Amino acid sequence: MTVTPTYELLYFQIWGLGEIPRLVFEHAGVPFKNSTIAWDEFQQTGKAQVPFGKLPILKITQDDGKEITLAQSGAIVRYLGKKFGLVGTTPEDQAFIESIYDEYTDFTFGYINKFARTEHWKDLKEVQSYRDISILPFIKNHERFLAANGSNGHYVGDKISIADIAAYQTLNWVFNTPYGTMFNKNDTPNIIKVHETVAADPKIKEYVSSGRRFQPFAWQTKREGQVEL
């Protein structure tokens, strides 16, 4: 009898860096234990028990009973993408898909550094400046990448990849920011189509409507007093 590996993802009870790995599991239809820990408990006792003192981590129990712990959200998503066939069909596909995933990670941390730890989201000049130096170039590049693949709702080929899932989840919180209105069917049709394609996936739809999904982190929500472009 073949025994498949079992998986346990440990993160906080929010979207944050844990939501893309969760979405990968859900889309792939692979069961996993979605474990959480309170922030205070993690700071007091949990931090010392995980690699690098950070979350998320993925605990894997292999067929032979061997246990492995993976750290860093990017490494986890890449591992799951390869395991579940979500990185294309060639080494070139995989490299491009992973570069797009990295781009969405950079986009996220760029926003965090600019707005999550400050109140620049209340300042029109700050919001406009970041739009010009970061958001508009991002849109231009990604619309071009997606057009090159036929504007079919995918970055590579015609199947959902970790790049598409990263785009979907990033837009989920970008819609709540001062830049949310910039992402629409008229101005960013290809990016929006990726979001719609992943959102229409039956397993993703079931997950979103199931009540299993946690709430966004504070900076991923629309905040009172934020600038609207």
Q: Are residues 79 and 149 in the same domain?
A: no
What would the pLDDT profile of 52-110 be if each residue is shown by its tens digit?
A: 999 999 999 988 889 999 999 999 999 999 999 999 999 999 999 999 999 999 999 99
| Eight-class DSSP state of 6 | E
One domain, residues 96 and 117: yes
CATH number at residue 181: 1.20.1050.10
Given 50, 83, 116, the domain boundary residue is 83
Tokens, residue 189: 């049709």
User: What is the per-residue pLDDT across 2-57, written as a single tens digit (0 to 9) for each?
Assistant: 447 899 999 999 999 999 999 999 999 999 999 999 999 999 988 889 999 999 99
Domain stops at, among 83, 110, 135: 83
Residue 215: DSSP 8-state: B
The residue segments making up the domain with residue 42 are 6-83
From CA 189, how far away is CA 193, in angstroms rounded? 6
Beta carbons within 8 Å of 153's beta carbon, 6+ residues apart: 164, 193, 194, 196, 197
Q: Give the number of domains in the chain.
A: 2
Whether residue 226 is contained in a domain is answered as no
Q: How confident is the model at residue 223 (pLDDT cuts 50, 70, 90)?
A: confident
The reported pTM is 0.94
- Residue 10 belongs to some domain of the structure: yes
In the listed set 83, 110, 130, which residue is the last one of a domain according to the structure? 83
